[in-house]
Amino acid sequence: MKIILNIWRQKNATSAGKMVRYEMPNVSEHMSFLEMIDVLNEELTKKGEDPVTFEHDCREGICGCCGFMIDGIPHGPQRGTTVCQLHMRHYKDGDEVWLEPFRAKAFPVLKDLMVDRSAFDRIIASGGYISINTGSAPDGNNLPVIKKCSDQAMDSASCIGCGACVASCPNASASLFVSAKITHLGQLPQGQAERDRRAMRMVLKMTEEGFGYCTNTGECEAICPKGIKIENIARMHRDYIKASVLYREETKAGGAG
182 binding other proteins? (CB under 8 A): no
Which position among 17, 38, 218, 221 is part of the footprint of other proteins (CB under 8 A)?
38
The distance of closest approach from Cβ of residue 115 to other proteins in the complex, given in angstroms and rounded to an integer, is 9
The answer to whether 179 contacts other proteins (rule: CB under 8 A) is: no
Q: Phi and psi for 109 in degrees, rounded to 5?
A: -70, 130
Q: 89 CB contacts (<8 Å, ≥6 apart)?
A: 29, 30
DSSP H helical ranges for 164-230: 164-168, 175-186, 195-208, 219-223
Q: Applying CB under 8 A, which part among 34-42, 206-214, 228-236, 244-252 lies near other proteins?
A: 34-42
Nearer to other proteins, 140 or 170 (CB): 140
Q: Decide if residue 169 touches other proteins (CB under 8 A).
A: no
Q: Is 18 near other proteins (CB under 8 A)?
A: no
Site for other proteins in 187-246 (CB under 8 A): 188, 190-191
Distance CA 211, CA 105 (A): 7
22-41 b/e with 16+ CB inside 10 Å = b? Answer: bebeebeeebbbbbbbbebb
CB 203 within 8 A of CB 126: no
Please identify which residue in 19, 154, 193, 241 interacts with other proteins, judged by CB under 8 A.
154
C-alpha to C-alpha distance for 250 and 229, rounded to whole angstroms: 32
Q: Closer CB to other proteins, residue 135 or residue 170?
A: 135
Nearer Cβ to other proteins (134/216)? 134
* CB closer to other proteins, 137 vs 215: 137
CB–CB of 108/116 below 8 Å? yes
Q: Residues 87, 103, 197, 242: which binds other proteins (CB under 8 A)? A: 87
Query: Closest approach of Cβ 32 to other proteins, in Å?
Result: 7
DSSP structural state of residue 251:
P
DSSP 16: -
Point out which residues pair with 74 in neighbouring strands. Answer: 69
Binding other proteins by CB under 8 A: which of 4, 6, 22, 51?
A: 51
* Closer to other proteins by Cβ: residue 149 or 215: 149
* Choice between 217 and 247, CB closer to other proteins: 247
Number of residues binding to other proteins, judged by CB under 8 A: 79
**72 sits near other proteins (criterion: CB under 8 A):** no
Instruction: Transcribe 129-173 into DSSP letters.
Output: S----TT-PPPGGGS---HHHHHHHHHHHT-----HHHHH-TT-B
Binding to other proteins, residues 90-149 (CB under 8 A)? 110-111, 114, 116-118, 120-121, 124-126, 128-141, 143-147
Least distance in angstroms from the C-beta of 217 to other proteins: 26
Pairing of strands 3-9, 114-115: unpaired
